[in-house]
């Protein structure tokens, strides 16, 4: 079975844009689960630009599928992960002024820094995933870190349309290599309703972490209803008492 983990970060982005209480990423997670999501992903960033610790605490209590915490391999994040106990932690690289994650985590270059964080995660019975480029050596190091899962960075496949076939071949080769090493293979970053289709032919990839395209589409397909609700209130209610709408 192929699994979809819905990344709810950008519900948080919208909320934080006005420092409001709504839209609440926790509500969004519940809706995603009710619609069939197999997991919920969120990235707690050092700058807290979208997901807050309060969200993570509530998500842990409320969601019924797999909670995947994306985080940088830092002592601060490790402490939070061990407290919250997500089902799985995905280690990602993080740069303060990046718009979004810019590439896979280089496990070779950062091995000594990541090793003890990875060990603590595993010792605390949290599954470990690493977000990496499609590269054999990175897969070898994921294994060396005792990871359960890898998430292949699919972003260059999504962006470089002219090179898609070639990149897809490489992804398939690396996914098969990782599977032979008993790693669960997921992928993500930049997937949308169209570019995902060829990726579904890679049978070794069993999970997809998707955020932006789903949230962007939700805004558009939900906007009509939101506007008509407001129009209805303005047109039909003449200063009377109305139920509050959340
Ligand atoms: N996987 C990782 C490691 C990410 O950092 C992100 C972006 O937050 C995603 C998946 C989801 O990417 P997108 O929002 O483009 O679907």
CA-proximal residue: ligand 1, atom 11 (nearest): 189
What is the percent of the chain where pLDDT is above 70? 98
The yes-or-no verdict on residue 55 having pLDDT over 90 is: yes
Q: For residues 1 and 206, is the Cβ–Cβ distance under 8 A?
A: yes
DSSP 115: H
Beta strands (DSSP E) in 173-216 are 184-188, 205-210
Of the candidate ranges 10-14, 99-103, 169-173, the one whose mean pLDDT is the lowest: 99-103
Candidates 13, 102, 212: which one to mutate for ligand 1, based on the most atoms within 8 Å of Cβ?
A: 212
Burial class (CB in 10 A: 0-12, 13-18, 19+), 113: exposed
- Residue 44 dihedral angles phi and psi, to the nearest 5°: -85, 110
pLDDT value at position 168? 97
pLDDT digits (tens, 9 = 90+) for 227-240: 999 999 899 877 66
Angle at 94 between CA 197 and CA 194, to 5 degrees: 10
Rounded to the nearest 10°, the torsion over CA 186, 61, 75, 103 is 30
C-alpha angle 173/4/97, rounded to 5°? 80
Q: What distance in Å separates the CA atoms of residue 86 and residue 68, rounded to the nearest whole number?
A: 6
Sign of torsion, CA 119 124 128 130? negative
- Paired tokens of 238: 């003449």
| Cα(230)–Cα(216) distance, integer angstroms | 21
Q: Which of 39, 51, 189 most suits a substitution to test ligand 1, by most atoms within 8 Å of the C-beta?
A: 189
Residue-wise pLDDT tens digits, 207-229? 999 999 999 999 999 999 999 99
């Amino acid at each position: 079975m192929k699994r979809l983990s819905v990344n709810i970060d950008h519900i948080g982005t919208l909320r934080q844009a006005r420092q409001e209480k709504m839209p609440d990423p926790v509500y969004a997670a519940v809706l995603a689960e009710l619609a069939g999501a197999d997991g919920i992903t969120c990235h707690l960033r050092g700058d807290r630009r979208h997901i807050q610790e309060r969200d993570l605490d509530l998500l842990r209590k409320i969601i019924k599928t797999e909670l995947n915490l994306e985080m940088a391999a830092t002592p601060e994040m490790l402490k939070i992960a061990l407290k919250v106990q997500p089902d799985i932690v995905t280690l990602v690289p993080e740069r303060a002024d990046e718009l979004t994650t810019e590439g896979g985590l280089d496990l070779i270059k950062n091995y000594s820094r990541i090793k003890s964080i990875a060990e603590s995660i595993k010792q605390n019975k949290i599954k470990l995933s690493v977000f990496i480029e499609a590269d054999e050596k990175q897969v070898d190091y994921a294994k060396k870190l005792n990871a359960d899962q890898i998430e292949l960075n699919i972003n260059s496949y999504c962006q470089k349309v002219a090179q898609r076939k070639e990149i897809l071949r490489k992804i398939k080769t690396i996914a098969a290599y990782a599977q032979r090493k008993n790693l669960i293979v997921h992928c993500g970053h930049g997937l949308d309703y169209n570019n995902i289709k060829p990726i579904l032919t890679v049978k070794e990839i069993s999970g997809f972490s998707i955020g932006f395209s789903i949230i962007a589409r939700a805004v558009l397909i939900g906007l009509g209803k939101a506007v008509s609700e407001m129009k209805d209130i303005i047109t039909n209610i003449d200063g009377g008492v109305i139920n509050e709408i959340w």
